[in-house]
Structure 1
Amino acid sequence: MEMRAVEAARRWLADQGVNQVRDGWVSDEKPGELLTATQVAQSWACDVFTEDVDAADQVRLAFGLLDLLDEYWVTCEIRFAEKSAEGPLPAGVLWDGYRRRLEADRDADAVTYSLWVDWFEDHTTSATAFAEVLGHDIDRVVADRSEPLLRRARRVLEHSGPVRWTVKEPTYRAAARLSDLHPAVFHGIRASFHDVYGDLEPTAALLLLDQLDLPAGTRHLGELRHVLASGHKNHSRGPGAWEDAVRACS
């Protein structure tokens, strides 16, 4: 959590008449009504992008609000602003905000969910988003091996199922050079098969899977190898394939 960004967001909310109390939030408009963080996000996050400051400061404020509320809806408002008539948002500030929160040693569910369902499932944005949060600097991640960078890589790989295989395969292969990332690459390949919008090439994915040094008894490893060896690309496009694999591996 970036405390300066959080405090800026807290002050901004106070200026809107919204303040945090012991069990939630209250607004000046309805001081007797206790609000949840979700309600605050859904009611006020959109107003960040109407502030009379430059777009970069709007994005920084939005990320501060995300840190403060830990609500996925804040990322939705960031995405809406990116695609609005006033967009796109400044790319450097936007993607730096995602990278920092993916590296942070705290819960990142709102950020990873945002990447997965909003940026990665949309093929007009998935290649850019994947490159910005990991693809461009996977070699630095592997060489540096610092825990924040590894944390970001794991989170991105595990949620990268919908990204086109041709986009993510080079990053998967680079990540496979580092054993610390092997479980995350495995989860990425598995998600590429199971996600509704998942994408992979079975032969290439199987070759990569066989290079990973995974713990004995890794759950679903045999089944994943079986469906890939059978040439299946995706769970939804191969009805019954996973069930056949489960039977074959039992």
Structure 2
Amino acid sequence: MLLTANDVAHSWAGEVFAEDLDTADQVRLAFGLLDLLDDYWVTCEIRFADVSAEGPLPAEVLWDGYRRRLAADRDAEAVTYSLWVDWFEDRRTAATAFAEVLGNDIDRVVAERSEALLHRARRVLECSGPVPWPVKEPTYRTAVGLPALHSVLFQGLLASYHDVYGDLEPAAALALLDQLDLPANTQHLAELRYVLAAGHENHHSPRAWDEVVRS
């Protein structure tokens, strides 16, 4: 019987945390399995271990694992999806997770502009919609200083409006949007500017978005 990566992840990812290793090495082994399988379920088992009775996991090892994979020049969909739906949508963990994967380093990203740091910043900003606005706004404001991040900042603002758990403050978001150097034909730019100027916080005001789409 041929097993898929997802089959293997469901069968074995949780077993990593039963291995006769110290916790830090268990976390490193779990991330190694993630590299091998590239399956979101491995990140679920990492999070389960973090919130278990034996948790939390060593923060420096946990977040270093995320940062390394966000910075790598390879697909990171499982990692970004994990951040989005598990860490960022949970108000108990969003602030810490966002700080660890980008917020604490945004000044360095803008100053150094290395490809690895830009990879990480772009991936985090794109999935940052659910992060509470007061947590992410300082990072967004700093990122405005780097034109290479303007397109993903726009995606972050758009997700902050449209995500089910998206969060933004309309006036502040509009002020940031107006500082972005974007092509005039950027999809949804006009709609987002319109709803923010009208004071709408999220997609729960669907008529506002539809109104500008029809105009």
Q: Give the corresponding residue for 1:179.
A: 147
Q: Are residue 206 (structure 1) and residue 174 (structure 2) matched?
A: yes
Moved over 6 A (4+): none
Q: Are residue 154 (structure 1) and residue 154 (structure 2) matched?
A: no
Q: Give the corresponding residue for 1:196.
A: 164
1:74-153 mapped onto 2 (5 Å cutoff): 74-153=42-121
Q: Give the corresponding residue for 1:17.
A: none
Q: Distance in 1 between matches of 2:19 and 2:46?
A: 14
Give the letter for the 2:21 counterpart.
V
- Percent sequence identity is 76
Q: Are residue 37 (structure 1) and residue 8 (structure 2) matched?
A: no
Q: Give the corresponding residue for 2:17.
A: 49
Per-residue deviation, residues 142-184 of structure 1 (Å, max 9, x unmatched): 0000011001000000000000000000000000000000111
Give the letter for the 2:183 counterpart.
P
Q: Are residue 246 (structure 1) and residue 213 (structure 2) matched?
A: yes
Q: Which runs of 5+ in 2 are unaligned?
A: none
Q: Secondary structure at the match of 2:13?
A: helix
1:242 CA drift (Å):
1.3
1:228-247 mapped onto 2 (5 Å cutoff): 228-235=196-203, 237-247=204-214
Give the letter for the 2:137 counterpart.
E
Give the letter for the 1:231 counterpart.
G
1:203 CA drift (Å):
0.3
Structure whose alpha-carbon radius of gyration is higher: 1
Q: Taking structure 1 as the reference length, what is the TM-score of the superposition?
A: 0.85
Structure with the largest fraction of helix: 2
Question: Greater relative contact order (Cα 8 A, min sep 6): structure 1 or 2?
Answer: 2
Give the letter for the 2:26 counterpart.
Q
Q: Which runs of 5+ in 1 are unaligned?
A: 1-32
Q: Taking structure 2 as the reference length, what is the TM-score of the superposition?
A: 0.99
